[in-house]
Amino acid sequence: MGLISFLGFTLLVAGIAYWSTKSTDESTADGYFLAGRSLTAGVIAGSLILTNLSTEQIVGLNGQAYTEGILVMAWETLAAMAIVVTAVFLLPRYLKGGLTTVPQFLERRYDTMTKSITSGLFLTGYVVVLLPIVLYSGAVAFSAMFNLPELLGVTKTASLWICVWGIGIIGSIYAVFGGLKAVAVSDTINGIGLVIGGLMIPFFGLSYIGDGSIMEGISTLMNSNPEKFKSMGGPTNSVPFATIFTGMMLVQLFYWGTNQAIIQRALGAKNLVEGQKGLMLAGFIKILGPLIVVLPGVIAYHIFEGNLDVADEAYPKLVAKVLPAGLVGFFAAVLFGAILSSFNSALNSSVTLFGVDIYKEYINKEATGKQVVKAGKTFGIGLAILAMFIAPAIANAPDGLFGYLQEVNGCYSIPIFTIIIVGYLTKYVPAVAAKIAIASGVILYSISQFILKPRMAANALAEAKASGITDAARLADIETLAYPHFLHVMAILFVLNVLIMLAIGKMQPRKEAYVQKYTEQVDITPWKYVNQVGIAITIAVIAIYACFA
């Protein structure tokens, strides 16, 4: 029964996505890459949420919540504020310029080389980090949660390969052959399923704790585990409270406002009103995100009494414990959709970046829209196959790889965010300043996190052990406190790079002020309630923190 419901829901999503794309001319660049600039608010919001939510968050954040409590909700709730900034400040400028990719703005603001370097950084991040990790983490979660080795009668390694290639092939069909509209439509349907399925887990979990009563379950959970319901993290936590005011917001603004895999959905809006509505709706949903990606981890801590050896097993074990057998197939389909979404969205954005920013610029300057789409599809197929081969090899990597790779993202996220913000807020900063900021951002962050940090942590541990400290928890705290948190480092380098760019702009300004031209591709009249809704979202986030402070 579970397998039938899984296949039925998955095929239904695929059929609706195919039917929805029949009327879109995907032989043109706008049609393929931006869904013909036809996306409405509901589709944009659904696609944004499901692109964002995948196994790294559903399993990973719940694992962190199992260990640390609700303080990890910062990754969800603060995203809502970043989405507001994107809707009010960045999206009107993107749509005014008729952008297909974020690097296109950098070409107009700075020069072609700056655009190409940025596209290369995005693609490197997708190929080396995002695509293989999404495939691997999705395969591990899916295989473990639904016991595929036993179901299929194969080894764990074989199950991993089957899942990786299954997700990869289906995701590639959506992303490469369907274009953005197929991705966005399937994301929307799966997004509804994810919200329903995701909310079922805490519902049944709280009911389990309260012997059938949700309210009794909430009361028991909070009274029994008060330490898990503190929103402000300490200096040794994964999200110290101080980081909320430094690198956390920078990471969120980069992700929601400049990351091609995310912002491409809003770039495909039929007009600014629909784009802003879609972003604001996504912002409200993100406020509710902790119910799906944080609360189940705390519930699992209570039910399993903190005795799980591996924190990341908290969510799949909770699902197996509390979800009725008849709903397992539906939840499997929803989880599969979430995994698929992150993969095909990143792949579609990679295809877009290559086709528009690399192929058209350096390989065939005279290429028609149809040729650009064809070249992008060919590149996407190769990229997907490469990611599918790389993903299973991650199984042999050392422990803590996911946290390490999140840190690696800072190598390109902060430099890119810096030059975009300075580009929009100034008129005379020259192209050479952007190139220097990118280089200094990548180099300084790499030196900080991969040379200085390990060396200082090792020295601190050696000194602690020499002084007779043997307690593992205390040694872990000493190692954590030996060097500034990577989010603080990001903030410091952001400020430094901004100052470098402004100084260069003062000494060697552009000859003419940059003026953004309106391409008139879509109506950029703003939504009349955008500011009021943005303020309401911001107040809600602050209220949540105050409530659990």
pLDDT digits (tens, 9 = 90+) for 174-187: 655 554 455 566 66
- Give the pLDDT band of residue 403 (cuts 50, 70, 90): low
Higher local confidence (pLDDT), 511 or 193:
511
> What mean pLDDT, rounded, does the chain reach?
83
Quick one: what percent of the chain has pLDDT higher than 90? 37
pLDDT band per the 50, 70, 90 thresholds, residue 386: confident
- Predicted local confidence at residue 400, as pLDDT: 45
Q: What integer is the mean pLDDT of 253-265?
A: 85
For residue 123, give Cα distances in angstroms to 64, 255, 260, 347, 371: 29, 15, 10, 10, 20
Confidence label for 513 from pLDDT (cuts 50, 70 and 90)? very high
> How far is 530 from 283, CA to CA, in rounded Å?
12
Query: Angle at the Cα of 503 (from 501 to 509), degrees rounded to 5?
Result: 85
Q: Averaged over 13-24, what is the pLDDT?
A: 58
> pLDDT by residue (tens digit) across 329-347?
777 777 777 777 777 667 7
Beta carbons of 414 and 493 less than 8 angstroms apart: yes
Q: Tell me how crowded residue 10 is: count the other CB atoms within 10 A of its CB.
A: 20
pLDDT at 184: 60
State residue 174's pLDDT score: 61
Bigger pLDDT: 520 vs 444: 444
Using the predicted structure, report yes or no on whether residue 222 has a pLDDT greater than 60. Answer: yes
At residue 31, the pLDDT reads: 47
345: exposed, middle or buried (Cβ count in 10 Å: 0-12, 13-18, 19+): buried
pLDDT at 173: 72
At residue 514, the 3 state secondary structure works out as coil
Q: What is the pLDDT of residue 213?
A: 94
Residue 208's CB is within 10 A of a number of other CB atoms, namely: 17
Mean pLDDT, residues 486-491 taken together: 94
Q: What is the DSSP letter of 428?
A: S
Q: Report the pLDDT value the prediction gives residue 278, as an integer from 0 to 100.
A: 94
Give 526's pLDDT tier (boundaries 50, 70, 90).
very high
User: What pLDDT, on a 0 to 100 scale, did the predictor assign at position 22?
Assistant: 53
* pLDDT tens digits for range 26-53: 444 444 445 456 688 988 888 788 777 7
Per-residue pLDDT, 70: 93
SS3 154: coil
Can you tell me the distance from the alpha carbon of 289 to that of 331, in angstroms, rounded to the nearest whole number? 17
- Residue appearing with tokens 């399925």: 197
Please give the Cα distance from 526 to 516 (Å, whole number). Answer: 17
Q: Please write the tens of the pLDDT for every residue from 197-212.
A: 888 999 999 999 999 9
Place of tokens 């422990």: 399
Contacts 24+ apart (CB under 8 A), 441-445: 441/411, 441/414, 441/415, 441/493, 441/497, 442/121, 442/411, 442/412, 442/415, 444/493, 444/496, 445/410, 445/411, 445/414, 445/415, 445/489, 445/490, 445/493
The token pair at 281 is 């709706």
Q: Which residue has the higher pLDDT, 360 or 208?
A: 208
The per-residue pLDDT for range 139-173, each reduced to its tens digit, is 877 777 677 888 888 888 888 889 888 888 877 77
| Predicted pLDDT of residue 201 | 92
Look at residue 354 in the predicted model and tell me its pLDDT.
Answer: 84
What is the full DSSP assignment across 361-372? Answer: III-TT--HHHH
Q: Which two tokens stand for residue 278?
A: 């879609």
pLDDT for the residue numbered 527 = 95
pLDDT at 150: 83
Confidence of residue 398 (pLDDT cuts 50, 70, 90): very low
Contacts of residues 535-539 at CB distance under 8 Å and 24 or more positions apart, as own/partner, are: 537/80, 537/81, 537/83, 537/84, 537/280, 537/283, 537/284, 537/287, 538/80, 538/81, 538/84
DSSP 62-106: HHHHHHH-GGGGHHHHHHHHHHHHIIIIIHHHHHHTT-SSHHHHH
Task: Give Cα separations from 504 to 211, 422, 500, 501 (angstroms).
Answer: 66, 12, 6, 5
Q: How far apart are CA 71 and CA 76, in angstroms?
A: 10
Contact 56/214 with Cβ under 8 angstroms? Answer: no
Residues written for the chain? 549
Q: Residues 430-444: what's their mean pLDDT?
A: 96
Q: 2-18+28-396+525-547 has which fold?
A: Sodium/glucose cotransporter (1.20.1730)
CA 517 to chain centre: 30
Tokens 């902790």 locate to 290
Residue 358 confidence (pLDDT) above 50:
yes
> Measuring CA to CA, which residue among 332, 14, 392 is closest to residue 175?
14
Q: Decide if pLDDT at 273 tops 80.
A: yes
Q: pLDDT band for 390, please (50, 70, 90 cuts).
A: confident
Burial of 174-204, coded b for 16+ CB within 10 Å and e otherwise, reads bbbebbbbbbbbbbbbbbbbbbebbebbbeb
Cα–Cα distance between 549 and 413 in angstroms, integer?
Answer: 30
Tell me the C-alpha to C-alpha distance, in Å, between residue 26 and each of 29, 32, 33, 177, 182.
7, 4, 8, 9, 10
Domain residue ranges in the chain: 2-18+28-396+525-547, 400-517
Query: Can you spell out the DSSP letters for 201-257?
Result: HHHHHHHHHTTT-HHHHHHHHHHH-GGG---SB-TTSSSBGGGGGTHHHHHHHHHHH
CA distance 205 to 211: 10
Instruction: Return the closest-CA partner of residue 521 out of 175, 270, 243, 276.
Output: 270
